[in-house]
Structure 1
Amino acid sequence: MQSLAELQRSFATALLDPALPAPAGLVGPDGKPSSRRFAVYRNNVILGLTQTLKDSYPVVHRIVGSEFFLALARAYVVGDLPRSPMLFDYGAGLPNFIGRFEPASVLPYLADVARIERAWTEAYHAAEASPISVSEFAEIAPDRLPAITLVLHPSVRIVRSRFPALSIWQMNVDGGVPGPVDLTAGGENALVIRPEAGVEVRSIPNGSPEFIHALGSGRPVLAALKEAIAADPVFDLSANLSDLIQAGAVVSYGFAQELLRS
């Protein structure tokens, strides 16, 4: 006799593979095997997860159309079941899957557009925090600035792309109007954040992703600046710090191990 774990594994495997029969021992109200009932349940599960992906990636859906998205989502679903009861957690792997999905290779920017959408979802559900104000940050003595460490808002996400993925996303979200895009014009970087009630998606310059990542890793401003300059020799520290504060991306600061604002 199969163990409960074995029964669960066989059920999950059959659930995602229409070529497999209904699991042994699965019966209907009449006590007889019920392949038809299982087929209906299997179809509903796949349709439900496909709809979840459509809700999470509306821009990708708009770009590729319903038929293509259905094929993409079905291919993804059969290899990635939900790992959490919270469906907003589902689909985190879709951007990387798009990068491997051969039919999507004609849209090389699509995976990065999906990464922006995923970052938006994660930012929306991130923990609450109160950003520091511009005036509060201005109180820091300039000579202490290189040694300062910044605590970033929990919602901060960065998406880098070698394509104009942010522009493409903006054209296709919230009733945007798609237009021609030069894919050879260079890449774009996006800062995704929810400082207050709504998620914001901002364009940030080269060097800023490295700068923000270093800050988020707990490195002081001077060390983060070196990372940024290595990526972009003309990185502007003053402008980038100002933009981060104004965006609500910083919630506290400190020196060494001493946190000066909680």
Structure 2
Amino acid sequence: MSRQSDFAQAILNPDQPNPEGLRDPEGAPAGKRFSVYRNNVAVSLSEALEVTFPVIRQLVGDEFFKAMAGVFLRQHQPNSPVLMFYGTEMPVFLQGFEPVTHLGYLPDVARIELALCRSYHAADTPPLDPTALQTIDPDDLLKTRLHLAPPVHLIRSKWPAGSIFHANSSGDTPPTELHPEEILITRPEFDPQVTVLPAGAGAFIAALIENAPLGEALKQATITSGDFDLTQTLGLLLSTCAITKISKGT
């Protein structure tokens, strides 16, 4: 293991010995200085996780979250100097973190919070003028592709993750049944928003994300749900500035 790796491991794990060769300005061992630095790093990373995952923190409680963050940061070093992007491994971490495995929805709630962070920092793109859809020749409509904006994210959960998120962030009524939900993240203006999708809309949007033409996306949606409402879903995408352009397929 390299000295750089030793240093990184020692910073994130207080059980590790101080790296060899550390000296203060007088040439004495810098154990105390390193301990202070290590504590500052741990506090900074823990605070970054609190900012990114406020709903997870709300769900598990402050003390538990701080303890869990300590375990997480020892296992996952930052891979970017930008702390706002720290914590991308949290959903997978939660899946394997035994004290919360009974809360199966936590990983998907974490995915929502990560998507909100990514959406907030995504590139700006001008939204599609809604009247542009009216100019498409009916014969070309099913071949048309709708291109989605960079802030758009889709989360398909087997839990009511979107409703749980809203109940713990804006005071909505908690869900009474643990049913699957599909969640859309959009950024119509400056702040991203979380929308629980109606039946079939998740399959429709997933197909659009894969660059499928409108006809194929409609097919996937109706296979998923006979109650799929194309007009409602397109209205949602247009009103949240989720569509940036249209193109004709072949």
Equivalences for residues 4-15 of structure 1 within 5 A: 6-15=2-11
Q: Which of the numbers 153, 158, 161 marks the counterpart of 2:154?
A: 158
**What is the rounded CA distance, in whole Å, between the counterparts of 2:75 and 2:237 in structure 1?**
38
Name the residue aligned to 1:192.
185
Change (3 A) 1:85 1:248: same
Partner of 1:226: 219
Moved more, 78-87 or 201-210: 201-210
The Cα of 1:45 is off from its aligned counterpart by: 0.7
Matching residue within 218, 229, 243 for 2:236: 243
Find out whether 1:111 has 2:88 as its counterpart: no
Structure 2 segments unaligned to the other structure (5+ residues): none
Where structure 1 has 5 or more consecutive residues not aligned to the other structure, the ranges are 258-262
Q: Tell me the distance in 1 between the aligned counterparts of 2:174 and 2:121.
A: 33
Cα RMSD over matched residues? Answer: 1.8
Q: Which moved more, 1:120-129 or 1:34-43?
A: 34-43
Name the CA distance, whole Å, in 1 between partners of 2:202 and 2:173. 27
Question: Residue 164 of structure 2 contacts residue 174 of structure 2 at CA under 8 Å; is this kept in 1?
Answer: no
Using the size of structure 1 for normalisation, the TM-score is 0.89
Assess if the C-alpha contact under 8 Å between 2:154 and 2:202 holds in 1.
Answer: yes
Match among 201, 222, 229 for residue 208 of structure 1? 201
Deviations 1:133-172 (A, max 9, x none): 3222222233321000111011000112222221121122
Q: 1:177 aligns with which of 142, 149, 171?
A: 171
* 2:138 maps to 1:145: no
Give the partner amino acid of 1:235.
F
Residues in 2 aligned to 1:197 and 1:38: alpha-carbon distance in whole angstroms: 41
Q: In the alignment, is residue 33 of structure 1 matched against residue 29 of structure 2?
A: yes
Q: Is the 8 A contact 1:133 1:246 kept in 2?
A: no
The secondary structure found in structure 2 opposite 1:91 is coil
Equivalent-residue separation in structure 2 for 1:79 and 1:138 (angstroms): 52
Return structure 1 stretches of 4+ with deviation > 6 angstroms: none
- Equivalent residue number for residue 98 of structure 1: 94
Q: Secondary structure in 2 aligned to 1:78?
A: helix
Aligned residue identity for 1:199: P
Whichever residue aligns with residue 252 of structure 1, its letter is K
Whole-angstrom distance in 2 between the partners of 1:158 and 1:180: 21
Inter-partner Cα distance in structure 2 for 1:20 and 1:110: 30
> What residue identity is the alignment partner of 1:31?
G
Q: CA deviation at 1:73?
A: 0.8
Classify the secondary structure of the residue corresponding to 2:29: coil
* Partner secondary structure for residue 33 of structure 1: coil
Q: How many residues align?
A: 250
- After TM superposition, the structure 1 stretch with the greater mean CA deviation from structure 2, 106-115 or 123-132, is 106-115
2:85 is the counterpart of 1:89: yes
Query: Judging changes above 3 Å, is the alpha-carbon distance between structure 1 residues 234 and 177 closer, same or farther for their aligned structure 2 residues?
Result: closer
Are the structure 2 counterparts of residues 138 and 246 from structure 1 closer, same or farther at C-alpha, using a change threshold of 3 Å?
A: farther
Structure 1 residues 90-138: Cα deviation after superposition (integer angstroms, max 9, x where no partner): 1111122112111112322222111111111111000001111322222
Between the two proteins, what is the percent identity of the paired residues? 39
Q: Distance in 2 between matches of 1:212 and 1:237?
A: 11
How far apart are residue 180 of structure 1 and its match?
4.7
Could you tell me which residue of structure 2 aligns to residue 256 of structure 1? 249
Aligned to 2:17: 21
